[in-house]
Amino acid sequence: MSSTVITHNQPTAVLPGALVLLLAAGAGLAAAALYYAQPMLGVLGSEFNATPGAIGLVPTLTQLGYALGLILLAPLGDRFDRRRIILGKAAVLTLALLLAAAAPSIQVLLVASLVIGVSATLAQDIVPAAATLAPEASRGKTVGTVMTGLLLGILLSRVVSGFVAEHAGWRGMFVVAALSIALLGLAIWRGLPRFKATTQMPYLALMASLFTLLQRYSGLRRAALAQGLLSVAFSAFWSTLAVMLHAAPFHLGSAAAGAFGLAGAAGALVAPMAGRVADRKGPEVVTRLGAGLVVIAFLAMAMGDGPLWLIAAGAVLFDLGVQASLIAHQTIVYGLEPAARSRLNAVLMGSMFIGMASGAWLGSQALAQWGWQGVCGLAALAGMAALAVRLWPATKI
């Protein structure tokens, strides 16, 4: 299979279920690498005697690296064999995770975090690969399956990380993560076909086309801005939750923080239904509903030092809102110009992870200055701004 060349005009007649599973698992494992550190931030802060602001740079740099990788590297999937790009990133990601496991200082961990973010963008090479391989009649279903794998990887990574770190230490968690990516690389090498380039545009012209697409499509600008703002709220919560639970009055370990990923996973499993709602009612309705759920969830959590059940319920609600909005925004963006889907995806996801990086940094600052209510207030404001973008007339953005 690895010797086959696939082009956009020659999808396979029937995509094997094993290959769909490989793509979904690959997207999930790659995306999970971005979030393994989050439930361990309280432990990492104690290990390196770092302030909340300093330890907040770990998720900040990871998300920033992912945004840079999306913007600078993801468009290369239109220019080169996507299989080779995926394999190269998997090798770099494995080494970066091993570097994090062996980090002797916070400075080394921060460098590793940045590289983890850049190389984990192989998840966003897998999604367009799935769209290319799938026959037109089942393309939406295939991409939806891969995206479900990606979303579950993001959310369940916290559960796995909390459990493994509690029993094998935070270094052990990074070793397990490195092993999973190494095995993934081997499976992709054996099972993923090669891809033919669809453009011969030089790299600089390819990058310049991102700005051309932004200028051409107001739908892309609105989607990127709104999803970026929702990502600020999403990241502010998940980047500070472990630190908050580690401190008084909860004094909970990484396993408890990771368990909240189950609440988020519940939201992600429901979110794909947003695609069917978008088909019937239009994606605009779903984006507004998603942003509204984010606002409601964080306003509820901001009402004093709420019990853990309220935080868990809020996690379900806002994760549902963020993921539903993402699916609706992808529906909008992918319909703008099918020949440029990789670049459109790079713009949308790049904006999303710029929001993630900003949310991680702003969330850590808000926690240090105003406590948990400050984090929830920041996230609620970000959700309100996203809702305003979706309510604002399209011609004005």
Per DSSP, the residues of 64-109 read: HHHHHHHHHTGGGGGTS-HHHHHHHHHHHHHHHHHHHHT--SHHHH
pLDDT of residue 2: 43
Residue 78's pLDDT is 79
pLDDT for position 266: 67
Residue 28, pLDDT score: 95
Q: How many angstroms separate the CA atoms of 227 and 146, rounded?
A: 20
User: According to the model, what pLDDT value does residue 186 have?
Assistant: 97
pLDDT value for 9? 42
What is the second-level CATH architecture of the domain 11-396? Answer: Up-down Bundle (1.20)
332, 223 contact by CB (below 8 A): yes
Phi-psi region at 12: left, alpha or beta (left = phi > 0; alpha = psi -120 to 50) = beta
* Cα–Cα distance, 332 to 327 (Å, whole number): 9
Q: Can you give the pLDDT of all 397 residues of the chain as single tens digits?
A: 444 444 444 555 567 889 999 999 999 999 999 999 988 988 898 899 888 778 889 988 998 899 899 888 888 877 888 899 999 999 999 999 999 999 999 999 999 999 999 999 999 899 888 877 877 666 666 777 887 888 889 878 888 998 898 889 999 999 999 999 999 999 999 999 998 877 788 888 888 999 999 999 999 999 999 999 999 999 999 888 888 887 777 777 767 777 777 776 666 666 567 666 766 777 888 899 999 999 999 999 987 666 788 888 898 899 889 988 987 888 788 778 877 777 888 899 889 888 988 998 999 899 989 999 999 999 999 999 999 999 987 666 6
Side chain identity, residue 174: F
What are the strands, taking DSSP E only, across the chain?
A: 5-6, 194-195
* Strand (E) or helix (H) holding 303: none
pLDDT at res. 312: 86
User: Given this model, what pLDDT does residue 5 score?
Assistant: 46
Euclidean distance between CA atoms 274 and 97, whole angstroms:
34
Place of tokens 């499976």: 187
For residue 122, the 8-state DSSP code is G
